[in-house]
Structure 1
Amino acid sequence: MKHSIRFEYESHFFLSHEPTFKEKEIWLVVHGYGQLAEFFVRKFKSFYSPERLFIAPEGTNYNYLEGFQGRVGANWMTKHERETAIANNHRLLDKLIGSFMEHYEEKPKVHVLGFSQGAATATRWASNWSGKIDTLVLWSGGFALDLNIEAANEAFAETEMFLVLGEKDDLITSESIQKQEELIRNLGKQVERLTFDGGHELDTEVLDKIINANK
């Protein structure tokens, strides 16, 4: 007989700088499968600013990237106990962003970027969060295929959305693109599509167009 129990859990996150709580904007950047937040947040280093706080949460599941030793990466879920992992991710991100927002007298804009597996995780959470998402960037990934369309329509009513893909990304298939296009049609929202000459990676020039457009 299967049972469940909740307990206090310690999770890690990394920041671009120690917050002053006078920042004008927050970027919540959600890494992909097999990455670590410590290194992922560094990819945004050229965009660090006293007025812009980057917060990089780390997936709560860990695995060796090859075999049974060596480099370790984090992930947001696997197919095993998937629904439990999704619920845990929502509680983690709610708690994390809430712990910062409560300290601001003037609320900053909130932008969310999800990379690869982190894109689906970001869309699930953002569509359920009680706050306003000003910008949602899905990079080398897309909307969660099980996204609640009705909830997402309401949550993203005033959200600017970007879908970014590398033209040489071997992990993105024509089938996955087709599914995303169908989901976007069902959402009925405008999504700006951007591409770059690269693979499954972040591109500085495209990041600059998105981040600095939201000053």
Structure 2
Amino acid sequence: MQTRDRLFLPRDSMNEYYLETTVSGCYLVESPPGSGPFPLLAGFHGYGQTAEDELELLRNIPGSDRWIRLPIEALHPFINAKGQPGSSWMTRRDRDRRIAENVRYVDAVIGRVMAEQPVDGRLVLHGFSQGAGMACRTAVLGCHPVVGVMLLGGDIPPEIADCSRMRAVHIGRGDRDRFYPQKRFEADVARLREAGIEPVVSQFRGGHGPTAEYFDAAGRFLNKIGRG
């Protein structure tokens, strides 16, 4: 039985159980005008953010208006440091269990959108900060093949042994990003190259978040994928 990270010593008589239940996850769909079909751009927000935050980020990528934009909100809501509602993808507690649950959830969302919207079969994933890990897990562990992955300010999770299913990767970091250190960024670039992927690397002036320089680079990558 999987054990949790504990902050206390359990009594000898205490047993640990898990019960699966149903929770609701939110996602937004924004489609281009016309009948399509269109490529699909799914996005994963950062820690304490919402699907609306990720949608705003996706909207700022030049050329994304030719894609169905699908920001997906994490399943674990809370009030963030600004006193506003936000969500988290996971914590270190029950890590393996939460990864499996999140991947099943995202697979279900993408499957529904592909069934209900005029999607042409191309799927790109975008992840910011904590959402970068979910983009990687969805590409590698999920059931829907991708044509590309875009990572901003977040690392490739350590449990991913083979990155090759990510196909094409755009990876970005602000030069003053204290949450995503340069050494970790360089290690992720090396991991991708070891998997046979030559990533498009975007190092820009800024901190932990996108800038106009990042959006321009992301737009060029998305445009190239869209022509494929």
TM-score of the pair, normalised by structure 1 = 0.85
- Which among 14, 21, 44 is matched to residue 28 of structure 2? 14
Task: Give distance in 1, aligned partners of 2:174 and 2:37.
Answer: 31
Q: Which has the higher Rg, Structure 1 or Structure 2?
A: 2
Indicate the residue corresponding to 1:108 in structure 2: 121
Gaps of 5+ in 2: 1-14
Please tell me the root mean square deviation across aligned C-alpha atoms, in Å.
2.4
- Which among 51, 60, 67 is matched to residue 37 of structure 1? 51
Q: Which amino acid aligns with 1:65?
A: N
Indicate the residue corresponding to 2:180 in structure 1: 172
Task: Give distance in 2, aligned partners of 1:178 and 1:212.
Answer: 25
Alignment of 1:43-58 (within 5 A): 43-46=57-60, 47-49=63-65, 51-58=66-73
SS in 2 for 1:85: helix
Asked whether the equivalents of residues 119 and 142 of structure 1 are also in contact (C-alpha less than 8 Å), the reply is yes
Task: Give distance in 1, aligned partners of 2:141 and 2:34.
Answer: 27
Indicate the residue corresponding to 1:161 in structure 2: 169
Q: What is the deviation of 1:211?
A: 2.3
Alignment of 1:35-184 (within 5 A): 35-46=49-60, 47-49=63-65, 51-66=66-81, 70-103=83-116, 107-149=120-162, 152-153=163-164, 155-156=165-166, 159-184=167-192
TM-score of the pair, normalised by structure 2 = 0.80
Q: Percent identity?
A: 21
Asked whether the equivalents of residues 64 and 219 of structure 2 are also in contact (C-alpha less than 8 Å), the reply is no
Q: What is the deviation of 1:106?
A: 6.3
Deviations 1:57-77, CA, capped at 9 Å, x for gaps: 1011122223xx822221100
Residues paired across the two proteins, number:
207
Structure 1: which 4+ aligned runs deviate by more than 6 Å?
18-21
